[in-house]
Structure 1
Amino acid sequence: MTDRRPLTFLTGALALVVLAGCASGAPASPAETPTESSAGHGEIAGAAEVAEPPLQLVSIDDKGAVGSLDLLDGSASRLGTVGEPESVATDGRYVFVAVDGGVGVIDSGVWTWDHVDHFHYYRAEPAVVGEVRGEGPVSVSTGPLSTAGGTGLYFAGSGEAVLLDNAELSRGRIVETLRVETGLADGVVAPLGDGALVSDADGGLSFHGADGTAAQGVVACASPSGAIATRAGLVVGCADGAVLATLEGGDPAFERIPYPEGATAERASAFEARKGRPTVAALAGDQGFWLLDARERAWQLVRTAVPLVSVVAADDADGNVVALDEDGRVRVYAAATGEERAVTEPLVDAADGPGVGLSVDAQRAYLNDPATGVVHEIAYADEARIARTLETPTRPDFFAEVGR
């Protein structure tokens, strides 16, 4: 492995910011503060605080063997096994693996705690935690913090909405704070504070508190699909736009963000972004992609010359949006203008199974190639340069980037 990522100097400076910020940083406005808090800035017993983001790749082969590759020092290890994977999702610490009959939960042992104006970074022992039972395809919705709040699992086969306690997960225990039978084949359960928004039979989203109590707040949202935690609040996609949810004094507050008048592109059904940013991206059918700026409550449709299969908003200073097209090329767009800034050669067969995925952090994008068994590390802000081609300890039929 060559061209190691130049993080040491940068994150050393960030460590100084952390110390100064904890001592005297001014509080952020409520809309800019993650909705959960936890003692010790996300620290848990047995974890070590480190000076820089402990970035790793968790790889899962088609039989369920799990491995971990450290992106900083190149060390690799095997973590155990889960069931045969069907899809994966992550909050930047835990990896949730859809398997036959439920969801396997992996604790990578690395995470970042977001304190709005600075961050804390931790390492602990990784582990395969266990499995949550459920029927049919599952959609996973994660919160802003891995040691507080919850993670939502919506099982389409049974119409059950399940909320997991993240504080308990951080201690190696799977605890459900709610399991609701909605009676709906399609729906969402999206973490908000210590509770969650859950699809209801009346075409809306109801807020369930930490004790499972329902209907503390209800908002209309036809055909909800896709939920993501942003810097400005929780976003849930609806047939006519999106709902932005925040907590005010423990009670949910809702704002509707309708699509632009006259919009004809396919609706957004799943959102992706660099973790903790206000602007998120979603496919717009074969026309291009949507950008939703949750802070400005505004949609933007970016039309592209080629169809895309995935898109992620980096939401950085340069406004980069990173996408994978149907020919397996990674393309980088300017959010403000839709201009294509860079494109790679074909790197993967984008139709090569459900596990092909694209992950974006502050400096790099990662794309797994199940056919060749490698993960491409791409410097998306540097003309989409291939920085490294990484071999993982288990074949990366599925993968997730963690430590973010």
Structure 2
Amino acid sequence: MICGGRAWTAAVAATVLLAGCGGSGPAAPRQTPHGYVRGAEETAEPQRRLILAEAAGGTVHALDPATGRTAAVGTVQGLQSVGGDGRFAYLATGGGVHVLDTGVWTVDHGDHVHYYRARTRMLGHVPDTGTVGITGDAALTALPARGGVRVLDRESLDGTGRIAEPVKVAGRVAVPYAGRLLVAGEGRVAVHDRTGRRVSRFAEPCPDPRGQATTRRGAVIGCADGALLVTGNRAHKIAYPGAVPADERATEFRHRPGSPVLAARAGDKGAWVLDLAARKWNRVGSGPTLAVNAVGEDAPVLLLGRDGTMRSHDPATGRQKASKRILDGAGPGAVIEVDAARAYVNDAAGKAVHEIDYNDDLRLARTFDLPFAPGHMVETGW
């Protein structure tokens, strides 16, 4: 561990039990690691968990890719979808979301990283919310709700596991960013503080906002005419390359956590790639796509077709690099989760999760056979 470096965000600083980075010598007190919470164990390597929910029955399981072991961690009746913000998984029913602390997380300080592991536990329920469009950072997590967005305080969740009374903000799309909340509604994007109070608004319009992401290069909100990239106190529109039909626009962005390359389904005509460094849109693939994800800069974009075939494309040129049949037909709940080395696809029909080496022509690295059908999946630990 290296002490010093970049300043923490206010929210991260509030969650750690730390007085500062101490000096050397026998008189220096032992310091608590950055990002530590009581009961956690710091580890030398990232801790990942694939949270899997049965297609029927509502039992939720955690799969550890390092060992291949699974364990039941709870039951949620009427489960419809799952989402995550790095540490926590959100399990949606028609009446709200159940919050699961998956017990694995990463604290990234820029010049050094800490990895933690703790016990998995169900924390409680947030009514009248869903998981479509959930986003979070070290300070806040935004959940879509009826008539607006509900905002959870990560300080409370991280430190004590308590679901503090969520703030509700009117708007269609919300993105936590740098301790603030960007809220899109009525064609504009406003900046709110952690209490929900609006403090400013960007002049750049964002008609019909749908889709959002948080990256190391800024926050992104999808608009009818492109995407709005917010960096610091500035907003920049990245326009589509020409007119785009409503059924082909990007409405849900997928990417490796933090990566500035985003992927989104383009209806039945392949996928969009949004490169934030180049501030440019590209199209890849051509046919109907059930799931997409982007690995990162100079790395492939992955598309899963309805026939169960995964295709790897160059994000800049659109050229197909590899193709492999992964599933015997892909169901509507199939997703692609990616991390720094592997991609994972849930196979409800085959009762399995497939691990793909996307840097080796989509080689099937491992298959985790399961005694249940994983109808839903989200990766945590980042």
Scaled by the length of structure 2, the TM-score of the pair is 0.87
**Structure 1 residue 48 and structure 2 residue 36: aligned?**
no
Q: Secondary structure at the match of 1:42?
A: coil
Tell me what 1:212 maps to.
Answer: 196
Aligned partners of 1:207, 1:114: CA distance in 2, in Å?
A: 24
Change (3 A) 1:168 1:306: same
**Structure 1 residue 314 and structure 2 residue 295: aligned?**
yes
Q: Secondary structure at the match of 1:338?
A: coil
Instruction: Give ranges in structure 2 of 5+ residues lacking alignment.
Output: 17-32
Tell me what 1:370 maps to.
Answer: 348
Percent identity between the two aligned chains: 40
Listed as ranges, the matches of 1:103-114 within 5 Å are 103-114=97-108
Aligned partners of 1:197, 1:51: CA distance in 2, in Å?
A: 34
Tell me what 1:276 maps to.
Answer: 258
Write the deviation string for residues 185-239 of structure 1: whole angstroms up to 9, x where unpaired: xx21221233312233x32222221121125224521111111111101101001
Aligned partners of 1:386, 1:138: CA distance in 2, in Å?
A: 29
**Structure 1 residue 228 and structure 2 residue 204: aligned?**
no
Aligned partners of 1:151, 1:358: CA distance in 2, in Å?
A: 22
Q: Aligned AA for 2:133? A: V
Number of aligned positions between the proteins: 360
Tell me what 1:381 maps to.
Answer: 359
Aligned partners of 1:233, 1:360: CA distance in 2, in Å?
A: 20
Q: CA deviation at 1:68?
A: 1.2
Q: CA deviation at 1:24?
A: 6.4
**Structure 1 residue 326 and structure 2 residue 306: aligned?**
yes
Which one of 281, 296, 300 corresponds to residue 278 of structure 2?
296
Tell me what 2:139 maps to.
Answer: 149
Tell me what 2:21 maps to.
Answer: none
Change (3 A) 1:35 1:167: closer
Q: CA deviation at 1:177?
A: 4.3
Aligned partners of 2:151, 2:370: CA distance in 1, in Å?
A: 31
Aligned partners of 1:323, 1:34: CA distance in 2, in Å?
A: 35
Aligned partners of 1:75, 1:229: CA distance in 2, in Å?
A: 31
Q: Aligned AA for 2:272? A: W
User: Are the aligned partners of 2:346 and 2:375 in contact in 1 as well (CA < 8 Å)?
Assistant: yes
Change (3 A) 1:390 1:140: same
Aligned partners of 2:333, 2:369: CA distance in 1, in Å?
A: 16
Tell me what 1:9 maps to.
Answer: none
Listed as ranges, the matches of 1:109-124 within 5 Å are 109-124=103-118
Tell me what 1:6 maps to.
Answer: none
Q: CA deviation at 1:289?
A: 1.7
Q: CA deviation at 1:305?
A: 4.0
Tell me what 2:152 maps to.
Answer: 164
Which one of 96, 100, 105 corresponds to residue 94 of structure 2?
100
Q: CA deviation at 1:394?
A: 5.2
Q: CA deviation at 1:348?
A: 4.3
Q: Secondary structure at the match of 1:221?
A: coil
Tell me what 2:70 maps to.
Answer: 76
Write the deviation string for residues 60-111 of structure 1: whole angstroms up to 9, x where unpaired: 1132211112111233322112232211111222111111200111111001
Change (3 A) 1:34 1:378: farther
**Structure 1 residue 257 and structure 2 residue 238: aligned?**
yes
User: Are the aligned partners of 2:211 and 2:222 in contact in 1 as well (CA < 8 Å)?
Assistant: yes
Q: CA deviation at 1:365?
A: 0.7
Q: CA deviation at 1:264?
A: 6.1
**Structure 1 residue 337 and structure 2 residue 313: aligned?**
no
User: Are the aligned partners of 1:56 and 1:70 in contact in 2 as well (CA < 8 Å)?
Assistant: yes
Tell me what 1:8 maps to.
Answer: none
User: Are the aligned partners of 1:154 and 1:161 in contact in 2 as well (CA < 8 Å)?
Assistant: yes
Instruction: Give ranges in structure 1 of 5+ residues lacking alignment.
Output: 1-18
User: Are the aligned partners of 2:106 and 2:115 in contact in 1 as well (CA < 8 Å)?
Assistant: yes
Aligned partners of 2:328, 2:37: CA distance in 1, in Å?
A: 39
Which one of 186, 191, 196 corresponds to residue 181 of structure 2?
196
Tell me what 1:360 maps to.
Answer: 338
Change (3 A) 1:295 1:35: farther
Q: Aligned AA for 1:152? A: A
Q: CA deviation at 1:324?
A: 0.5
State the structure with bigger RCO (CA 8 A, min sep 6), 1 or 2.
1
Aligned partners of 2:319, 2:9: CA distance in 1, in Å?
A: 32
Q: CA deviation at 1:376?
A: 0.7
Q: Secondary structure at the match of 1:41?
A: coil
Write the deviation string for residues 275-310 of structure 1: whole angstroms up to 9, x where unpaired: 1111111122222222112233222223x2432222
User: Are the aligned partners of 1:277 and 1:315 in contact in 2 as well (CA < 8 Å)?
Assistant: yes
Change (3 A) 1:356 1:263: closer
User: Are the aligned partners of 1:168 and 1:174 in contact in 2 as well (CA < 8 Å)?
Assistant: yes
RMSD of aligned residue pairs (Cα, Å): 2.3
User: Are the aligned partners of 1:143 and 1:149 in contact in 2 as well (CA < 8 Å)?
Assistant: yes
